[in-house]
């Protein structure tokens, strides 16, 4: 499922970046941490973590959110 969300207006620095699409990857809860670890091992960076959600970036700065509980 694809859902469009607006970026918070207070995040002015992120709004200036070329990455303007917000992707969320919903995965089963039991696989979420494995997907996160695989992504970081492949060169990704963990930018933010909250309960059942991890925002990560690839080496070029493109972001995606892994969501547990699909």
For residue range 10-64, what is the model confidence (pLDDT) as tens digits? 766 665 665 567 788 899 999 999 999 999 999 999 999 999 999 999 888 888 9
Q: CA 16, CA 37: separation in Å to the nearest integer?
A: 29
Here the tokens at position 54 are 């991890």
Q: Structure pTM?
A: 0.68
Q: CA 45, CA 25: separation in Å to the nearest integer?
A: 16
Q: CA 1, CA 10: separation in Å to the nearest integer?
A: 27
Domain architecture of the chain: domains with CATH: 12-68 (3.30.720)
Residue 64 makes CB contacts below 8 A (sequence gap 6+) with 23, 24, 25, 55, 56, 57, 58
Cβ neighbours around 49 below 10 Å, total: 12
């Amino acid at each position: 499922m694809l859902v469009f969300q607006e970026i918070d207006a207070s995040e002015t620095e992120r709004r200036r970046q070329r990455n303007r699409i917000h992707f969320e990857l919903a995965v089963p809860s039991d696989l979420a941490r494995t997907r996160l670890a695989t992504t970081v091992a492949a060169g990704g960076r963990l930018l933010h973590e909250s309960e059942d959600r991890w925002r990560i970036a690839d080496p070029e700065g493109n972001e995606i959110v892994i969501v547990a509980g699909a």
